[in-house]
Each structure stands twice: as C-alpha cells, then as structure tokens.
C-alpha cells in the first residue's frame, strides 16, 4: 500500500510524457488537479525508488498484479458500456468520508 502508489505515479507520468513526445502537445493544458495529485510523488528520486522497489519486489509485484486485475475490471466495464458494473466498481473503491480506510 505504500510503495505501489509511487510506481503508479511514475507509470502515469511516463504515459503522459510519451504521449506529449509523440505529438500530443496539448496534454499539459488538460492536466488538472487530479493528474497533478496522482503524479506528485513521481518527482521523487528514481534512484531511491529503484532501490526500494527491488528491495520489496515480491510484495510490490503481487500488489501490481492486483492493481492490473482492478484496472482490467474497469476496462471491461468500459469496453462493454456496462454502466452498472462500472458504478459497482467505482463504489467499491470510493472513499465516502474522504479519509483513508487503509492505515
């Protein structure tokens, strides 16, 4: 729970950078608070996170695989245009009180 968000932030920022370098120069103008919040920790030291990730690779690989399943579920609902399934998945991940439920 503490290391996966860093890898996700680095990955999300990389995807955006790749798209910009591929010619989608307008993307930075579209990046709002959510993107900046989600990628804030990607400003951390890559050398530090390389060491942390490799030192915790078994747990981190398992967490990344779980995340991939969750993303695949969301993608399947989007592919199917299944609003009910999408809503159920969003509800499952929703923080109703605005606080972390995982400590």
Phi, psi of 31 (to 5 degrees): -75, 115
Is residue 95 very low, low, confident or very high in pLDDT (cuts 50, 70, 90)? confident
Is residue 103 scored above 50 in pLDDT?
A: no
- What DSSP state is assigned to residue 20? H
pLDDT in tens, 17-58: 999 999 999 998 898 899 999 999 999 999 999 999 999 999
Pick the residue with more confidence: 52 or 1?
A: 52
Span 70-90, average pLDDT: 98
- Indicate left, alpha or beta for 23 from its phi (over 0: left) and psi (-120 to 50: alpha): left
pLDDT in tens, 60-71: 999 999 999 999
pLDDT of amino acid 6: 96
Contacts 24+ apart (CB under 8 A), 42-50: 42/6, 42/9, 42/10, 42/12, 42/13, 44/6, 46/10, 49/6, 49/7, 49/10
Rounded to whole angstroms, the Cα distance separating 10 from 39 reads 7
């Amino acid at each position: 729970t503490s290391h996966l968000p860093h890898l996700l932030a680095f990955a999300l920022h990389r995807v955006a950078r790749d798209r910009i370098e591929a010619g989608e120069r307008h993307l930075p103008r579209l990046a709002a608070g959510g993107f900046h919040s989600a990628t804030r920790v990607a400003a951390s030291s890559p050398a530090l996170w390389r060491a942390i990730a490799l030192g915790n690779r078994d747990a981190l690989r398992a967490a990344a695989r779980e995340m991939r399943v969750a993303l695949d579920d969301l993608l399947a609902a989007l592919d199917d245009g299944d609003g009910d399934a999408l809503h159920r998945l969003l509800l499952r991940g929703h923080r109703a009180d605005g606080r972390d439920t995982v400590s």
